[in-house]
């Protein structure tokens, strides 16, 4: 019974610390976007405006990459369709392509039209408020740019942002100007929590144009291993 009470008190302490310690409670993760040369473009607000076979391909591909559970959490944000020329469209596709003035050298060796689509979902229980994904494919459904992370990588986030906050408290690191961001280790295929303090924002009117940071540590979100970060080297942070 005493052991149970002790665990309960520890759980309550962690929960309270999460909201009272002043550290960031959530982070966001955004994928890179690939610029596409084009003559004409049009925004897409609803996936139902895409050809039915393209909708079906997107569903199949994203389920394969993310799994059913994460797929059903996905929210379509917005997208664009890029074309290299003005095309005669079926009635239901007329509004998908812009009628911008033709530009020279504005296309590459793609099978136009191209679809650039942005999605998002969250893992708030882990401290990730928004995960933004970007996918680009051509009219034959060849992937030009795939989403950068897969199901297993999100499933391997075993240590949430609460664990990072506890490490910060353990080391008496102030919450003032403290930043936490989510990185990705391409070798281990795991996300890492990275912590640093902003010393100076930097300004063209000040002594330095560039911001100055003090790095603290990073934590492997799968194993919980904590590694010290400095501007010069990395080492185990005890």
Assess whether pLDDT exceeds 80 at residue 44. Answer: yes
Q: Tokens 């185990």 map to which residue?
A: 236
Assess whether pLDDT exceeds 50 at residue 88. Answer: no
The DSSP 8-state label assigned to residue 110 in this structure reads S
Q: Between these two residues, 28 and 93, which has the higher pLDDT value? A: 28
User: For residues 134 and 119, what is the distance between their CA atoms, to the nearest angstrom?
Assistant: 6
Exposed (0-12), middle (13-18) or buried (19+): which is 197, by Cβ within 10 Å? middle
pLDDT tens for residues 102-150?
445 566 788 889 999 999 999 999 999 999 999 999 999 999 999 999 9
φ, ψ dihedrals at 195, nearest 5°: -125, 140
Average pLDDT over the chain, rounded to an integer:
82
User: For residues 210 and 73, what is the distance between their CA atoms, to the nearest angstrom?
Assistant: 39
pLDDT for the residue numbered 144? 95
Assess whether pLDDT exceeds 50 at residue 92. Answer: no
Q: What is the pTM of this model?
A: 0.77
- In terms of domains, do 174 and 141 share one? no
In a domain, 14, yes or no: no
pLDDT tens for residues 9-25?
333 334 444 445 799 99
pLDDT for the residue numbered 67? 97
- In terms of domains, do 108 and 61 share one? yes
Last residue of a domain, one of 130, 151, 172: 151
Q: Which domain holds residue 37?
A: 29-151
Assess whether pLDDT exceeds 70 at residue 74. Answer: yes
pLDDT level of residue 39 (50, 70, 90 thresholds): confident
pLDDT for the residue numbered 86? 59
- In terms of domains, do 80 and 170 share one? no
Neighbours of 178 (CB within 10 A): 19
- In terms of domains, do 177 and 202 share one? yes
Assess whether pLDDT exceeds 60 at residue 78. Answer: yes
Angle between helices 2-20 and 161-170 (to 10 degrees): 90
In a domain, 3, yes or no: no
In a domain, 210, yes or no: yes
Q: Which long-range contacts (CB under 8 A, 24 or more apart) does 95-103 make?
A: 95/42, 95/49, 96/42, 96/44, 96/49, 96/50, 97/40, 97/41, 97/42, 98/40, 98/41, 98/42, 99/40, 100/39, 100/40, 100/41, 102/39, 103/39
User: For residues 50 and 94, what is the distance between their CA atoms, to the nearest angstrom?
Assistant: 11
When divided into structural domains, the chain yields a total of: 2
């Amino acid at each position: 019974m005493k052991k149970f009470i002790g665990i309960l008190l520890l759980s309550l302490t962690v929960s309270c610390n999460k909201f009272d310690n002043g550290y960031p409670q959530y982070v966001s993760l955004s994928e890179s976007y690939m610029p596409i040369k084009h003559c004409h473009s049009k925004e897409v607000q609803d996936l139902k405006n895409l050809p039915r076979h393209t909708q079906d391909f997107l569903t199949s591909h994203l389920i394969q990459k993310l799994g059913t559970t994460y797929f059903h959490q996905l929210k379509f944000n917005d997208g664009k369709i890029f074309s290299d020329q003005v095309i005669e469209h079926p009635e239901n596709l007329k509004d998908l392509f812009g009628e911008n003035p033709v530009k020279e050298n504005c296309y590459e060796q793609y099978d136009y039209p191209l679809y650039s689509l942005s999605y998002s979902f969250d893992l708030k229980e882990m401290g990730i408020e928004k995960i933004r994904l970007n996918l680009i494919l051509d009219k034959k459904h060849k992937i030009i740019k795939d989403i950068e992370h897969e199901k297993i990588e999100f499933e391997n986030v075993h240590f949430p942002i609460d664990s990072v906050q506890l490490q910060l408290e353990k080391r008496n690191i102030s919450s003032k100007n403290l930043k936490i961001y989510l990185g990705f280790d391409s070798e281990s295929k795991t996300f890492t929590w990275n912590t640093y303090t902003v010393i100076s924002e930097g300004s063209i009117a000040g002594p330095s144009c560039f911001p100055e940071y003090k790095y603290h540590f990073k934590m492997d979100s799968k194993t919980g291993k904590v590694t010290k970060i400095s501007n010069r080297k990395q080492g185990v942070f005890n």
